[in-house]
Homo-oligomer: A and B are copies of this chain.
Amino acid sequence: MLMEECGVFGVFLKNEANVSPYIVEGLIALQHRGQEAAGIACSNFKKIELYKKSGTVSQVFNDKVLNEITGTLGIGHVRYSTKGGSSADNAQPFLIKYKNEYFSIAHNGQIENAEKVKRELEKNGTIFMTGSDTELILHILVGKLKTPPHKWTLEEISSIIFENIKPSYSLLILFEDRIIAIRDKKGYRPLSIYEDEYGHYISSEDCGFKFLNPNYKKIREIKPGEAVEISKYEVKSIQHETNEYKHCFFEHVYFARPDSNVFGRNVHLMRERLGQQCAIENPVDADIVVPVMESGFSGALGYSKISGIPIELGLMKNRYIGRTFINPGQTNREIGVRRKLSPIIQVIKNKRIVLIDDSIVRGTTMKRIVDMLKEAGANEVHVRIASPAVKDTCSWGVDIPNKKDLIAQKNIEDIKSEIHADSLGYVSLNGVKEILGSEYKNYCFFCFGGK
C-alpha cells in the first residue's frame, strides 16, 4: 500500500518538438527517487497515451517507444521498489477514461488517511483495481465532480483534493490540454517549476532541470498548498491557505540528490553542515576522516573542516556490483559488503579513523564496514553519523522498517558495541535546530523522534 519516495516530472512544450524525450530525460535525473518502474503519459491535445513498465528509465524506454508515445504535453513517474503486490499494475502514471475523456495522474508521497478514505469509498461500492494510494485520489475526484474532466477547474480539483486527501503528496494530473500540479499543504515532498523559451517543466527535485540549464534562474518551488495549471501557454496558480509546514527532513539527509535544492536549501551544503555540526557535538582525536562513499561524502567534508582532520579515500565504492553470485552457503566467508566497498589498506593501516555516513537504520551494514576496516589494519574506528538517529517509522512516504528493527531504539553504548565501533556520535535534534534556526518548526522530525 506504500507509494513513497517516487519522483514525478511534467513538461508542456511551446514548440513543435515531441515531449516524450524531455520527460524521459527528467526521469533519468530523478532516477535516485525510484528504480522499480518508470512510465510516461503524453497528450497531443486529442488523446493521451501511456507507456510504463518495470525497470529503470533506461531499461523501460527506447527510441521505438518514444516515437510511439508522442505529444506536446505530458507527465512521467519513477517508482521506488516496494515489497509484495503486483508491481507492474502499480506502476504510474495511471490513465483513466471517464465520460469518453482521458486523464492521467502521477503521484509522489503517501496518503496519511488512505485506509480511512478507502473504507469510506468501499462502503459505497467503490472497487480498487490497484494497490496504490494514488487510485484513491481518482475516486475522490470523480465521485465529487461528475461532469466530464475538461470541465473540472483548477479551483475545484485543488479544493476537493485538499479537503479530502491528507498529505503527503506532490502530484501531477495530465488532461488532454493542460497539466495540473498540486503540492500538499504541509509541503512534505518537494516540487519545483521552471520555464524557458521552449516550455514549462515541473519536477520533484530541481535537479530535474539540470539537463536543460545548469544555472538556477527562473526556477521556483511550488509552495505548500499551491495548485498550478499549465495550459496553452499560460501558467495559473492558486494558493490555498495553510497553517503549518512539515518538510520531510529525510529528503535532506537521504533522498534528494546533492545538487538539488529542496525546501530552499542545497542538499549537499545541508549535509556538509550536518557533518560540521556532528564534529562540534562529537569531537574525537583521530588521524583521518573516511566517508562511506558516496552517501557519507558531503558530511565528511563538513566533519573534516571543523575537526581539521584530513579527509581521505579509505573506502572505495565499486561501481559495478549487482547481485552476489557466490552463495554464502558455498563458502564460510561473508562477501556481500566487500564487493561494494573496498578498503585502501595503505590509507587505513595503523590509522585512527573517523568513519562518516548519512544514517544508520538496522546497523548490519555498518558493523560489516567497521569490521572490514579493522581487518584492513585500522587502529580505531569512530563512527559519526551526519544526521539525528532514526528512531521511528513514517506515515508520509519514507520506507523505514519496523520500529523494533531500528538500531537507534537502543542506547548509544549498546549501538556502539553492536557495530563494533570505538565510539559513536549522531547530530542532536538541538544541533539541527541550530542549523535551521527559525525554520526548524517547518520540518517533520517524527522518524528522528521529534514531536
- Known A258-B316, A258-B344: A88·B88 in contact at CB below 8 Å: yes
For residue A8, CB closer than 8 A to chain B, the reply is no
Cβ–Cβ < 8 Å partners of A122 in chain B: 98-99, 142, 146
Residue of B nearest to A329 (CB): B17
For residue A112, CB closer than 8 A to chain B, the reply is no
For residue A319, CB closer than 8 A to chain B, the reply is yes
Expressed in whole angstroms, the Cα–Cα distance for A97 and B313 within the complex equals 47
- Known A210-B342, A343-B259: A143·B125 in contact at CB below 8 Å: yes
Copies in the complex: 4
Cβ–Cβ < 8 Å partners of A257 in chain B: 316, 318, 342
Binds B, one of A22-30, A181-189, A387-395, A426-434: A22-30
Expressed in whole angstroms, the Cα–Cα distance for A124 and B145 within the complex equals 10
CB interface residues, A 293-346, toward B, < 8 Å: 297-298, 301, 305, 310-313, 316, 318-327, 330-331, 333, 335, 338-339, 342-346
For residue A86, CB closer than 8 A to chain B, the reply is yes
CB interface residues, A 367-388, toward B, < 8 Å: 372, 375-377
For residue A131, CB closer than 8 A to chain B, the reply is yes
Cβ–Cβ < 8 Å partners of A311 in chain B: 301, 311
Taking a contact as CB atoms under 8 Å apart, the answer to whether B127 and A28 are in contact is no
Residue of B nearest to A129 (CB): B129
For residue A44, CB closer than 8 A to chain B, the reply is no
Q: How far is the CB of A36 from chain B (nearest CB, A)?
A: 13
Cβ–Cβ < 8 Å partners of A139 in chain B: 125, 127
For residue A266, CB closer than 8 A to chain B, the reply is yes
Expressed in whole angstroms, the Cα–Cα distance for A22 and B335 within the complex equals 11
Taking a contact as CB atoms under 8 Å apart, the answer to whether A58 and B322 are in contact is yes
Expressed in whole angstroms, the Cα–Cα distance for A324 and B321 within the complex equals 23
Taking a contact as CB atoms under 8 Å apart, the answer to whether A25 and B305 are in contact is no
Taking a contact as CB atoms under 8 Å apart, the answer to whether B346 and A269 are in contact is yes
Binds B, one of A171-179, A211-219, A245-253: A211-219
Taking a contact as CB atoms under 8 Å apart, the answer to whether B323 and A58 are in contact is yes
Expressed in whole angstroms, the Cα–Cα distance for A97 and B135 within the complex equals 13
Taking a contact as CB atoms under 8 Å apart, the answer to whether B135 and A339 are in contact is no
Residue of B nearest to A272 (CB): B313
Which of A17, A32, A207, A215 has the most C-beta atoms of chain B within 10 angstroms of its own C-beta? A215
Among B96, B123, B258, B377, the residue within 8 A (CB) of A129 is B96
Taking a contact as CB atoms under 8 Å apart, the answer to whether B318 and A216 are in contact is no
For residue A442, CB closer than 8 A to chain B, the reply is no
- Known A214-B343, A346-B266: A129·B126 in contact at CB below 8 Å: no
Taking a contact as CB atoms under 8 Å apart, the answer to whether B127 and A142 are in contact is yes
Expressed in whole angstroms, the Cα–Cα distance for A211 and B320 within the complex equals 13
Cβ–Cβ < 8 Å partners of A201 in chain B: none
For residue A268, CB closer than 8 A to chain B, the reply is yes
Q: Can you name 4 extra interface pairs (CB under 8 A) apart from A21-B325, A125-B142, A297-B313?
A: A21-B327, A125-B146, A214-B345, A214-B376
Question: Can you list the 10 inter-chain pairs with the closest CB atoms, starting with the nearest?
Answer: A58-B322, A31-B320, A125-B143, A129-B129, A259-B342, A21-B325, A259-B316, A21-B326, A127-B142, A266-B346
Q: List 18 A-B contacts (CB under 8 A).
A: A18-B330, A28-B321, A31-B319, A63-B325, A98-B122, A123-B146, A125-B143, A125-B146, A126-B126, A210-B338, A211-B326, A214-B338, A214-B372, A215-B345, A215-B375, A257-B316, A266-B346, A269-B346
A residues whose Cβ falls under 8 Å from a Cβ of B: 17-18, 21-22, 24-25, 28-29, 31-32, 49-51, 53, 56-58, 61, 63, 66, 86, 88-89, 94-99, 122-131, 135, 138-139, 142-144, 146, 198, 207, 210-212, 214-216, 257-259, 266, 268-269, 272, 297-298, 301, 305, 310-313, 316, 318-327, 330-331, 333, 335, 338-339, 342-347, 372, 375-377
